[in-house]
Chains A and B, each alone.
Chain A
Amino acid sequence: MTDIAERHAAITTTAPNARWHGAAFEARLRRRYAAERRFRLAGLAAVALAALVLVLLLGSIAGKGWTAFQQTQILLEIDFDAAEIDPQGTRDPAVLAKANTMKLIRDTLAAQFPEATTRAERRQLSDLLSSGAPFELNRMLVADPSLVGSKQAVWLTASANVDQFIKGHIPRDVPAAERKVNDLQIRAIDALTAKGALTKAFNTTLFTAGDSRYPEQAGIGGAIVGSLLTLVVCLGLSVPIGVAAAVYLEEFAPKNRWTDVIEVNINNLAAVPSIIFGLLGLAVFLNVFGMPRSAPLVGGFVLALMTLPVIIIASRVAMKAVPPSIREAALGIGASRLQVVLHHVLPLAMPGILTGIIIGTARALGETAPLLMIGMIAFIVDIPQGFTDSATVLPVQIFMWADSPERAFVERTSAAILVLLGFLILMNGLAVFLRKKFERRW
């Protein structure tokens, strides 16, 4: 009080114009404007920093990962010697599948590089190829038994080390002991490259194969299928339950303590850490109900419980936006309350509900921690066939590969992240599109 009185006295005692003119005033004004500019700049800097981090993050991952979409292949002139593969001449698929194709590869390489004389050197040469290369030949033979006895030029997958060398991740000019490709192998690679028998091609294995200990044979096919199966279960449960719960809470529920409890509960559930849902899944679904570990079914259950609050909240907001006049009009011509909801409110709220569902799904697709708890972190080579098969999902696959020290796995992890982000961008784009297209202001 005294403060204001003093100021008032100060203003009235000085000449009225002196406060708003002169050097002191100008300096004060400049200071205030400078403070204004500084504050504005700080705000801009904060947004710019966030954008910079985003660019750095995406840039570093894309930079590490884009090379994984290509895989080095080696062209070999394989002699499918009938005496070697199928001595009985039965062309029986069981025999062809087990034929010693490794020897064919070794013989071809030995014929092409006669300078490799010792056993160890021959072995180094066959290490140029993926350890899965013989199986590729076996599969070819089973698919087409007429190959037996012929001579064919075949593209085979190169080993991860050769692949990394070609992509420049293993430097050439360091002492031989420090690189994973030795001098003999480099000479062979150069010779093959000069002949055009060594190129990079699109890496289909990455999208079709399951996990593997060998980077060149590892893929995210199994993880993508696992993610799809999990999401199907998750959506199959969370969408009907979530929308029904929202309909009840928004349109039918009486306003009392009981519904207040449900409401507070849903808001809190949306903020519970995801790993807690994993603990719930482990304790209830696996230990009490005895459901199978690592199964997309259980993963879907857990993710459904997590997605539920998101869908309920979004659906309620969307239904709240539908004006009451529409409900009253429908009631006025004799519709029951359920008919009002099913025929009018839900169709009008659908874009908002769909947006909520898509955003919830996107979150479920990127979720990792709760799935670790229920054992979806497993080394799974086969692509899962059903909801109770052991499976893993894309984010968990990324988590597992991120632990591998090999450069080839770093590359594949980044590629898997790019694929995951691609899916997420697609889904969020769809949500934005729906919102833009169907958004209606009442």
Chain B
Amino acid sequence: MQLTVLLLVLAALTAAGYLLGRSTAVCRARGRLAALHSVPAYHGLYVALWAGLPAFLLFLVWMAAQGWIVMQLTLAALPDRLTGVDAQALSLLKADILNLAAGINTGRRPDPALLEAAARHNRLMDLGQWMLLALGAATATAGLLAARSRITTALRARNKVERVANVFLVVCSLVAILTTVGIVLSLLFEAMRFFAAYPPLDFLFGLHWSPQTAIRADQVGSSGSFGAIPLFAGTLLITAIAMLVAAPIGLLSAIYLSEYASRRVRATLKPVLEILAGIPTVVYGFFAALTMAPFVREVGTALGLSVSSESALAAGVVMGVMIIPFVSSLSDDVINAVPQSLRDGSYGLGATKSETIKQVVIPAALPGVVAAVMLAVSRAIGETMIVTMAAGLSANLTANPLQSVTTVTTQIATLLVGDQEFDSPKTLSAFGLGLVLFIVTLALNVAALRVVQKYREKYD
């Protein structure tokens, strides 16, 4: 409640600051607007920024810190018999207090001390929010008044506003870096915890994957085994099938569309590929599981083969279809980048169109095509939904496309869906797999992007 009020108050003060700053500037100019260093609107923005920005930053910091501080204060008031326990029990205690504070009864009759703590927690939270409201409104008003009093004809309002805007731009462009850092750190940190419980060499080169871990200490026969080779093999198998479908079809369609098709044919056929590219992966997964897999199974059975109902073939073929537009649009760019003079030279020697394409255009475009295929492989490795829905869960180490295999992404998805305790090797292993996946795809992408860039420079 107080938060909504505060945000409304801040918005109102900022708007008021803009209007006030503008009119004050006009006032101070005494009718000669040209005497002002900046246009009045900039004075308005200057006051608005002083009114809104510090208070909003205060709001963010307060929101981030409040929960922690209130919890510490609540715990400090609890008797020692409750708080003098190990970290895990303490986090349970905190969760209990939070639940009680939110009015969720956990079923048992709660400890009166806990009830009191919950009430105290709520009181402190309430107090904190009122304080924030008062402080925020005060900061905003003070900022507004201070900035307004500083308005003179000589105030370089535009420069000051633009400096703030510049800082905002820089911060925004750092978000991308922060994302990468966040990905690397979170994967590394959680994977380290996993490798502390399970040796990394056994993970990378072990042949047996069965992530079921014991829930009780005395349970028999489910200590969990995290040898990831079957997953890597399964991923490779499905990726290979996908590329067998996508690479020739994608490359041939790119050649046809860029070299043979007339303008009109191109305009009608290109959207087909674009639609294929726009279909969500979950739809491909549904198609693979409910249409393709039974079809493959029926054909296989008719031929007298034993086909698993979650065969790698079905998932791979559908994934290949998903990747066709990716390969074709990248190769299209590359083929178009080959200079016309090379083609003209070849025609001049009497070569037919297909001879020119096969012996001049493709060799000239080869690095780019290879890069396109590498990017496509990286996408196939990272694709999740199709394999989660259509490939199996059993980690078979096989090269038979008619059997069921499982992939890295499938395992990540299944390990982390649902409520799990976060410190078991079972859940943490997903981060180990994620780290491998990230490194492999990153290497493929970096290599491919570098090839593309080099290649572009060559013909520019």
Contacts and interface: CB of A to CB of B under 8 A. Distances in A.
A424 to B, nearest CB: 6
Interface in B261-311: 269, 272-276, 278-287, 289-291
Contacts of B290: 64, 402, 410
Contacts of A420: 280, 283
Interface in A227-271: 240-242, 244-245, 247-249, 252-253, 261-262, 264-269, 271
A268 B173 contact: no
B169 A247 contact: yes
A241 to B, nearest CB: 5
Contacts of A377: 417-418
B172 A248 contact: yes
A61 B287 CA distance: 8
B168 interface: yes
B183 A276 contact: yes
B186 A399 contact: no
Contact of A276 (B175, B249, B382, B416): B382
Most chain B beta carbons < 10 A, residue from A56, A265, A367, A399: A399
Contact of B441 (A44, A271, A309): A271
Interface stretch (B21-29, B250-258, B339-347): B250-258
Contact of A417 (B253, B283, B382): B283
B176 A279 contact: no
A15 interface: no
A368 B186 contact: no
Interface in A383-427: 395-396, 398-399, 402, 410, 413-414, 417, 420-421, 424
25 contacts: A36-B352, A40-B354, A50-B272, A57-B321, A244-B168, A252-B169, A264-B446, A268-B445, A269-B180, A271-B378, A274-B382, A276-B187, A278-B416, A280-B179, A283-B186, A283-B187, A283-B190, A283-B431, A308-B179, A338-B166, A366-B281, A367-B280, A369-B388, A399-B285, A420-B280
A438 interface: no
A307 to B, nearest CB: 11
A273 B381 contact: yes
A140 interface: no
A36 B353 contact: yes
A372 B252 contact: no
**Closest CB pairs A-B (n = 10):** A273-B382, A43-B256, A366-B280, A283-B186, A46-B252, A244-B172, A39-B354, A248-B169, A369-B384, A245-B173
B355 A308 contact: no
A43 B176 contact: no
A51 B272 contact: yes
B118 interface: no
Contacts of A271: 375, 378-379, 441, 445
Contacts of B275: 54
Interface string B173-201: 11111011011001101100000000000
Interface of B: 67, 158, 162, 165-166, 168-170, 172-177, 179-180, 182-183, 186-187, 189-190, 248-250, 252-253, 255-257, 259-260, 269, 272-276, 278-287, 289-291, 321, 324-325, 328, 352-355, 357-358, 375, 378-379, 381-385, 388-389, 409, 412-413, 416-419, 422, 430-431, 434, 437-438, 441-442, 445-446, 449
Nearest to A59: B291
A421 B174 CA distance: 34
A269 B187 contact: no
Contacts of A332: none
A44 B256 contact: yes
Contacts of A39: 354, 357-358
B36 to A, nearest CB: 15
A60 B179 CA distance: 39
Most chain A beta carbons < 10 A, residue from B166, B273, B434: B434
A338 B162 contact: yes
A312 interface: yes
A399 B451 CA distance: 37
B373 to A, nearest CB: 14
A430 to B, nearest CB: 13
A40 B265 CA distance: 14
Given A271-B379, A271-B445, A273-B437, A245 B176 contact: yes
Would you call the interface of chain B mostly helix, strand, loop, or mixed?
Answer: helix
Most chain A beta carbons < 10 A, residue from B173, B272, B273: B173
A312 B180 CA distance: 15
Contacts of B389: 399, 402
A369 B248 CA distance: 28
A49 interface: yes
A44 B265 CA distance: 11
Contacts of A18: none
Nearest to B431: A279
A26 B235 CA distance: 51
B286 A46 contact: no
Contacts of A152: none
Most chain B beta carbons < 10 A, residue from A47, A277, A368, A377: A47
Given A36-B355, A273-B382, 8 more contacts: A36-B352, A40-B260, A267-B449, A268-B445, A272-B438, A308-B175, A336-B158, A399-B388
Q: What bracket does the count of chain A residues touching chain B fall in?
A: 35 or more
Nearest to A289: B64
Contacts of B449: 264, 267-268
A53 B252 CA distance: 16
A253 to B, nearest CB: 7
B176 A424 contact: no
Contact of A372 (B174, B259, B417, B431): B417
A417 B286 contact: yes
Contacts of A402: 282, 285-286, 289-290, 389
B74 to A, nearest CB: 16
B416 A50 contact: no
Contacts of B284: 57
B240 to A, nearest CB: 18
Contacts of A51: 269, 272
A49 B249 contact: yes
Nearest to B170: A248
Contacts of A273: 378-379, 381-384, 409, 437-438, 441
Contact of A268 (B278, B358, B446): B446
Given A248-B172, A362-B278, A369 B354 contact: no
A11 interface: no
Contacts of B67: 290
A21 B272 CA distance: 45
Contact of B253 (A46, A336, A365): A46
Contacts of A272: 183, 382, 438, 441-442, 445
Nearest to B266: A47
A117 to B, nearest CB: 42
A276 B434 contact: yes
Contacts of A283: 186-187, 189-190, 431
A174 to B, nearest CB: 20
A358 to B, nearest CB: 11
Nearest to B179: A305
Nearest to A60: B291
Interface in A309-349: 309, 312, 336, 338
A49 B445 CA distance: 28
Contacts of B353: 36, 40
A369 B176 CA distance: 21
A399 B409 CA distance: 15
Given A362-B278, A398-B283, A47 B257 contact: yes
A398 to B, nearest CB: 5
Nearest to B249: A46
A244 B259 CA distance: 39
Contact of A47 (B272, B278, B418, B438): B272
A432 to B, nearest CB: 9
